[in-house]
Structure 1
């Protein structure tokens, strides 16, 4: 009887949590769907001209969409290089004392509020601008570096966890057949856990998509067009949503913020689907799917 009671209570809370998620998504779709249009994205610029960069879009959110995608890939690139390497080192090569210390450092980093990371990189840019590089200002590059530091703990912990949870028989099989530890890592362990490793990338992707505090301090602005380089200021959907939500003059403008949020969700979903396809492809190629 107690088991059924506990099961019912847990099922109820699970249902409520799922209901809250779908309520949130439904509310965003309800408020934002009606105002989504080509005019919102491109304003009076022809779609093809905007995509081919023949004409700049200043009033639409197309530059914010492009800036968001650029920001995501740059920050994922930086964080993946260092996070993946750190996770491999912690799982395969580090001894117990070093592992505990480095894990503590990354756990401490993951608990730092994003606004503090944004403030640190803002002050860093000011210092570098005054002392060394007069052209170094808040930019897409600075935002990407700040975001990569923010999402790196997710990739590190997921990489370490994925490799640690590979069955011991799989870990030892190739070593017993004569492969070195490094070849065993790259030829066996990483392909075997590729699905879990890519899942960590998606978790980091979701974190990179939504953060506003970091980018508003390190280079994102309301209206500048598409960034001409990684050293330029840029537009991004999270900052656009924040800016419109705090400065709207009527309900239609507020609904445009919901439309931008809906587009941001669609970008996240699209990248998630790409990640899932890559997961399936890697598993199938390596014989684990």
Structure 2
């Protein structure tokens, strides 16, 4: 009876995994089928010269180039704000916090992870209004406010994955360097962090995906149609998620809807590039940690 239960559990797990994989591949295949035919230079640059557009010598009005640049800068800024704080907080909770502090902060971060993105967007909008009223009239919903709001949104994921990755290390790994005379800080930087990089990078990947796909936050904090490439952090901007949302809800012709499929495919390719970059950085850091001369 016990053996039968184990086999049923294994078969159920395999079935669920295959169904999930089939659903993902079906969505990707449908998106490629619909959007691959629209991928061309005109979709990205419109009537502008690609070379002049890349060097910001000519503005792109009907292409996705400003949205691609805006999305990339938005994700980069959000991760730059969230990553140091998230890693530092996760390390503190895993290695230095006592039991009561850890439980209190775990509850707080779990609640933060469950906050809807629209609430974070409203908070970012309220922050922009407050700064505009009390500090400077030049401050308005902009790229900086959006990146700060997204950083706040993804912070719990980075903190929790960093904490879990460090706490999941075996006692032998934790004690070996200490037994050889290393300090706790040396043990942390030379042993624990390199050993847990895979888990920590998984939080980074989750954060990149969440920043790249979220629409509710940026819709309230600075993204607009036809803003062009952002000239500064305090300027409005374009982004691919908002373009996809706008086209899918207000398209006036089948060609515009097909452009939305193309934009979704470009967004996936941009996320794939950022994920690959995260893995390369992880491999490089691991190599430097274990094979430095």
Per-residue CA distance 1:83-131 (angstroms, 9 max, x = gap)? 1111011001100000000011110001100001001110121122112
Shift of 1:54: 1.1
| Cα distance between partner residues in 2 of 1:188 and 1:182 | 10
Residue 244 of structure 1 deviates from its aligned partner by: 0.8
* 2:255 equivalent in structure 1: 252
For residues 133-168 of structure 1, what are the alpha-carbon distances to aligned partners after superposition, in whole Å with 9 as ceiling and x for unaligned?
211100000000000000001100011011111221
What SS class does the counterpart of residue 67 from structure 1 fall into? Answer: helix
Match of 1:127 in 2: 130
Q: Tell me which residue corresponds to 1:188.
A: 191
Q: In structure 2, what is the Cα distance between the partners aligned to 1:263 and 1:22?
A: 17
Whether contact under 8 Å (1:87, 1:155) holds in the other structure is yes
Give 1:32 shift. Answer: 0.9
User: Shift of residue 35 of structure 1?
Assistant: 1.2
Q: Which runs of 5+ in 1 are unaligned?
A: none
Query: What is the alpha-carbon distance in structure 2 between the residues aligned to residue 127 and residue 46 of structure 1?
Result: 41
CA distance in 2 between counterparts of 1:88 and 1:3 reads 38
What is aligned with 1:239?
242
* Aligned equivalent of 2:71: 68
Give, in whole Å, the separation in 1 of the partners of 2:197 and 2:17: 29
Deviation at 1:270, TM superposition (A): 1.1
SS of equivalent to 1:54: coil
Q: Does 1:36 align with 2:4?
A: no
Equivalent-residue separation in structure 1 for 2:192 and 2:12 (angstroms): 40
1:15 is displaced (CA, Å) by: 1.0
- Alignment partner of 1:211 out of 190, 209, 214: 214
When structure 1 is superposed on structure 2, of 227-236 and 119-128 the one drifting more is 119-128
Cα distance in 1 for partners of 2:47, 2:27 equals 32
Aligned residues: 288
Partner residue, 1:226: 229
> 1:261, CA displacement in angstroms?
0.4
Match of 1:10 in 2: 13
TM-score, with structure 2 as normaliser: 0.95
- 1:74-113 map, 5 Å: 74-113=77-116
> How far apart are residue 81 of structure 1 and its match?
1.4
Quote the offset at 1:55 in angstroms. 1.0
2:53 maps to 50
Select the residue among 283, 286, 289 that pairs with 1:283.
286
Match of 2:166 in 1: 163
The secondary structure found in structure 2 opposite 1:186 is helix
Greater mean alpha carbon deviation, residues 246-255 or residues 273-282: 273-282
Q: How far off its partner does 1:280 sit?
A: 2.2
Where does residue 203 of structure 2 map in the other structure?
200
Q: Are the counterparts in 2 of residues 155 and 200 from structure 1 also a CA contact under 8 Å? A: yes
- Aligned residue for 2:82, secondary structure, equals helix
Are 2:151 and 1:152 aligned? no
How large is the Cα RMSD of the aligned pairs?
1.3
Q: Distance in 2 between matches of 1:200 and 1:231?
A: 28
Contact 2:190 2:289 survives alignment (8 Å): no
Q: Tell me, what secondary structure is at the counterpart of 1:233?
A: coil
Query: Is the 8 Å Cα contact of residues 195 and 283 (structure 1) preserved in structure 2?
Result: no
